A and B are shown apart, each in its own frame.
Chain A
Amino acid sequence: MAAPAARRRPTEVDRVRLERIFNAHHVTVWRALRRRGLSPEAAEDATQETFLLAAERLDDIRPESERSFLIATALRVANTLGRKTVRWELDEDMDQRLAAHRDTGERRADRQLCNLVLSKVDPELVEVFVLYEVEELTSPEIAELLAIPLGSVASRLRRAREQFRTAAARVEKTLHREGET
């Protein structure tokens, strides 16, 4: 069996690159892990793990593929934790809490709104939706990342949008009825 040569010792150049990609992408990675249902603390650990794995593979990561590589690695890490189902983190009573919390700060309210609406999107679809609409990955990148055909990306995205817009419209109607808008 031909064994690959042992990896070289990391250099300062590597450290600088890791620092750059950490600062550019760690939030995206963390979010990807949260979407897999990890708690904030577990997502923090798994984000570290993702970047540690990236650090060992820096030579293999093309600069234009750093984000895709990191998200793909994060998803693998999540899989090792048994988190294969995508879901948006949401408290069970968010529906009730939404109205109660709408005056506690717009930012917080928006986050709750976000959780509420995205939780209504089919778990099988929400990841494609968020990767495309929020993280702004391209369809080919998503297809490669999730190992699904490009056509599946398109169809999932289309269905996700329909669900997203339906859920958003329903929430908007509720809020309107409650007098927020």
Chain B
Amino acid sequence: MSRPLGEAPAAFERLLASDATDLERRVLEAARDSGPSAAASARMARALGVSAAAVGTAVAAKGLAADAVAVKATAVAGTTAVWPWISIAVIGLAVAGAVVGTRAGHRAPGPQAVPPAVTAPVWLPPSPSVEDRSTGAVTEPPSRAAAPAQRRRAAPAGGDLGDQVAFIDSARAAMSAGADRRALEILRRYQDRYPTGSFRPEAVALKVEALMKLGREAEARALAERFVAEHRGSLLARRVADVAGLSQR
């Protein structure tokens, strides 16, 4: 199907609706059919605290049942213990809210099986406990007495430094997306984990910015003043002062 150059994009008919060959159709339909496994969908839904509508398969049901046992059987997990396997992408997730459960043991795995993610529902429960609607299990709010997550994941490349960079990147990503409270949580955990970390100044600078964006100006200014005093003359101090509305002395 050839079209004249300069034709308006809106004029493109989609291949599947026009003159795709059989093989092209197979390819496009396969692309459209691809997606996460039902069990993966179920894990993601649980992590978000919602129900996955399309996971009524045996696989998903098996996964949820296994999770229910795990949630009932295990102690509440805190997020700090999750770091050995966590990826940059999930850092925000892990610190976003309450971690309501983890697994005591491995699911009977195939070579590609991934135990369910530690769940961190967006919907912070209004009461001390929340019922997991998928499983009926009652789960608890987060605790720092963490049990290690069982998900298999390679340790972050670069060891501690890579881990630290991941924290800072995630905080920045959260702020870019307007998720300032989550950025603060990420930064708090970074500071808990790395009290003398290499990126502590950057973390403080980000914290000041997040606090300002959340309207917590008094806290932001107090923090900024301390920071500027400790890092007087640095570029970062200037930026922090600017963000917090301090006059540079």
Chain A residue numbers with a CB within 8 Å of B44 are 22, 26, 44, 47-48, 51
Task: Please measure, in the bound complex, the distance between the C-alpha atom of A76 and the C-alpha atom of B176, giving whole angstroms.
Answer: 9
Chain B residue numbers with a CB within 8 Å of A15 are 49-50, 122-123
> Given A22-B50, A41-B153, A81-B88, do A4 and B213 touch, yes or no (CB 8 Å)?
yes
Chain B residue numbers with a CB within 8 Å of A100 are none
A56 to B177, Cβ gap below 8 A?
yes
The 8 Å CB contact of B87, one of A18, A45, A172, is A45
A1 to B27, Cβ gap below 8 A?
no
A164 to B24, Cβ gap below 8 A?
yes
> Given A1-B243, A77-B173, A81-B88, do A114 and B27 touch, yes or no (CB 8 Å)?
yes
The 8 Å CB contact of A157, one of B12, B29, B32, B43, is B12
B48 to A172, Cβ gap below 8 A?
no
Minimum CB–CB distance for A152 against chain B, Å: 9
B12 to A77, Cβ gap below 8 A?
no
Task: Please measure, in the bound complex, the distance between the C-alpha atom of A181 and the C-alpha atom of B172, giving whole angstroms.
Answer: 52
Chain A residue numbers with a CB within 8 Å of B153 are 41
Task: Please measure, in the bound complex, the distance between the C-alpha atom of A41 and the C-alpha atom of B111, giving whole angstroms.
Answer: 13
- Which B16-73 residues have C-beta < 8 A from chain A? 16, 21, 23-24, 26-37, 40-41, 43-45, 47-54
Q: Is A90's beta carbon under 8 Å from chain B?
A: no
- Give the nearest-CB partner of B170 in chain A: A80
Minimum CB–CB distance for B52 against chain A, Å: 6
> Given A53-B179, A154-B9, do A168 and B21 touch, yes or no (CB 8 Å)?
yes
- Give the nearest-CB partner of B7 in chain A: A154
Q: Is the interface of A mostly helix, strand, loop or mixed?
A: helix
The 8 Å CB contact of B50, one of A18, A77, A80, is A18
A51 to B48, Cβ gap below 8 A?
yes
Q: Is B77's beta carbon under 8 Å from chain A?
A: no
- Give the nearest-CB partner of B43 in chain A: A44
Chain B residue numbers with a CB within 8 Å of A165 are 1, 24
Minimum CB–CB distance for B87 against chain A, Å: 5
Q: How many residues of A contact B (CB 8 A)?
A: 72
- Give the nearest-CB partner of A21 in chain B: B50
Contact pattern, B 163-183, Cβ under 8 Å of A = 1, otherwise 0: 000000110111011110110
- Which A1-23 residues have C-beta < 8 A from chain B? 1, 3-7, 9-10, 14-15, 18-19, 22-23
The 8 Å CB contact of A76, one of B33, B50, B173, is B173
Task: Please measure, in the bound complex, the distance between the C-alpha atom of A2 and the C-alpha atom of B177, giving whole angstroms.
Answer: 18
Q: Which one, B89-97, B101-109, B142-150, is touching chain A?
A: B89-97
Task: Please measure, in the bound complex, the distance between the C-alpha atom of A149 and the C-alpha atom of B183, giving whole angstroms.
Answer: 32
Task: Please measure, in the bound complex, the distance between the C-alpha atom of A23 and the C-alpha atom of B52, giving whole angstroms.
Answer: 6
Chain B residue numbers with a CB within 8 Å of A133 are 14-16, 28, 31
Q: What are 29 A-B contacts defined by CB distance under 8 Å?
A: A1-B243, A3-B215, A10-B124, A15-B49, A18-B48, A19-B48, A19-B51, A19-B53, A40-B40, A48-B44, A48-B47, A49-B89, A51-B122, A52-B182, A53-B92, A53-B177, A56-B177, A56-B181, A77-B173, A113-B23, A114-B26, A132-B12, A133-B16, A134-B31, A140-B9, A150-B9, A154-B9, A154-B12, A164-B27
Task: A1-B245, A26-B44 given; name 16 further pairs at CB < 8 Å.
Answer: A3-B217, A7-B181, A15-B123, A22-B45, A22-B52, A23-B51, A27-B36, A52-B182, A53-B174, A56-B181, A77-B173, A81-B89, A113-B26, A140-B9, A157-B12, A158-B3
Seen from chain B, the residues whose Cβ lies within 8 Å of a Cβ on chain A are 1, 3, 5, 7-10, 12, 14-16, 21, 23-24, 26-37, 40-41, 43-45, 47-54, 86-90, 92-93, 96, 112, 114, 117, 120, 122-124, 153, 169-170, 172-174, 176-179, 181-182, 212-217, 243, 245
Seen from chain A, the residues whose Cβ lies within 8 Å of a Cβ on chain B are 1, 3-7, 9-10, 14-15, 18-19, 22-23, 26-27, 30-31, 34, 38, 40-49, 51-53, 55-57, 60, 73, 76-77, 80-81, 107, 110-111, 113-114, 117-118, 130, 132-134, 136, 138-140, 150-151, 153-154, 157-158, 161, 164-165, 168-169, 171-172, 175, 181
